[in-house]
Amino acid sequence: MRDAYQEQMSALNTVLGQMVEEVGRAMEMATRSLLEADLELAERVISDHDAIAEQSVEAEDLAFKLMALQAPVAGDLRSIVSGFQLVSEIDRMGALALHVAKVARRRHPAHVLPEEVAGYFEEMGRLAVELAHNAHRVLESQDYHDALSLMDDDDAMDDLHRHLFTVMMDREWAHGVSAAVDVTLLGRYYERYADHAVLIARRVVFQATGKTPEQLLEAS
């Protein structure tokens, strides 16, 4: 019985890891489509999103089977409940990459980003992909120390997001309301993407220890 549980839990974690890699790849392509006004890349992100949705269904099915067939208690139950929550976080990351690609497609053949902010989004895209890779590593290792470290990794994303507003509020902004709206929405998409990566880390901390990060810090 215990061996069956471990095998099924391992299968769930494998699917979750694959999902994180997919949403990282999706954000990488979406960012390139945004920076290069590349319609083909944007369309690829949009069409590939169905595969991420299918993986979400697969992961949820695995979690339901664990819940129904293994009668989990204590730590096992905590792991399964965390699995459901992780599916949701990763799925939202994929949806945010999809939103970025759709903005790039909607404005094609024009570039969405004014030159003043393109560099910000290039860096935000790099950070987003790095966070996805780190989230995958944490899911595989189940090391709560790693997870706690990842939670600090979105500070740079928050700084970039704040700086975007200083650029748009500058009197020399000459790109109109439409461009400002696009930049505001896109900045929010990247910020939320990073937030969900951090929430994955929080879930792993709870899954591994039964405590929130704040409780661990208070105890240390």
pTM above 0.85, yes or no: yes
Q: What is the pLDDT of residues 79-127, one digit of tens each?
A: 888 889 999 999 999 999 999 999 999 999 999 999 999 999 999 999 9
Beta-strand ranges (E) seen in 22-130 are: none
The domain locations on the chain are 2-219
pLDDT tens column, 7-56:
888 888 889 999 999 999 999 999 999 999 999 999 999 999 999 999 99
pLDDT tens for 144-193 read 888 888 888 888 999 999 999 888 887 788 888 899 999 999 999 999 99
The angle subtended at Cα 195 by Cα 191 and Cα 197, nearest 5°, is 120
Q: Residue 143 and residue 208: Cα distance in Å, rounded?
A: 7
2-219: CATH topology is Methane Monooxygenase Hydroxylase; Chain G, domain 1 (1.20.58)
Predicted confidence at residue 2, as pLDDT, reads 64
The structure tokens listed for 102 are 């759709």
| One-letter amino acid of 112 | V
